[in-house]
Amino acid sequence: MSRIVWRIGKILAAILMFLFGPVKVYGRSNVPRTGPLLVLANHISDADPPTLGHAIPRATHFMAKSELFEMKVIGPLIKAFKAFPVRRGTADRTAIRTAIEYLKSGACVAMFPEGEVSEDGNPLPILPGAAMIIRKAGAPVICAGIKGTTRILPFSKLIPRPAFGGVSVRFGEPKTFTNESDDEILAWIESELRRLAA
């Protein structure tokens, strides 16, 4: 990812998050600055991706729903930041393979393992693709709990509004899995996201 593009994006995100948040970030020092890293976050609002991108202190490839890439303004924008598409409602092996390739190259990848925005803010089941990526990439994984972004962009709304505080991202501790089963990995993810977003 071009450092210039990334730095411009970080500046724009910081301005937007200041205007619509502000956003408090906790545990940012837990995020490794180099090496492969998978960031997993809960998903309560369409404002979550820019909020999480603002909080992560390094260049990140986001896994984003394929519909966004077809939109006239958003599509080219997220492509410029090296996001990659995932087809929701399917076992999208191309998206999983892309995430694994980025991680094995030493990059940071972010995704929302629930697969969609929660309408009422309550946690949704963690999809199995996250466990597959963790096992096959062998990369450290860190969870992030997002709170308050529904104040910026409530479910099904299109126009953001100032939250006047109450928006936060909290990072946990990074963890590397070795021989754990998919069920054990998914249980850990669910527990971490619940704890960090509580």
**Is the link from the previous residue into 36 a cis peptide, with omega within 30 of 0?**
no
> pLDDT below 70 — which residues of the chain?
1-2
Cα separation values, 70 from 67, 125, 150, 152, Å:
6, 27, 24, 24
Report pLDDT for 2. 67
CA distance 14 to 58: 14
Q: Where are the domains of the chain?
A: 3-197
CA distance 115 to 189: 13
Report pLDDT for 1. 54
Cα separation values, 163 from 22, 25, 131, 167, Å:
7, 15, 34, 7
Please give the class, per CATH, of domain 3-197. alpha beta
Q: Are 58 and 44 in contact (CB under 8 A)?
A: no
State both tokens at 20.
């619509």
List, for residues 145-169, the tens digit of each pLDDT value.
999 999 999 988 889 999 999 999 9
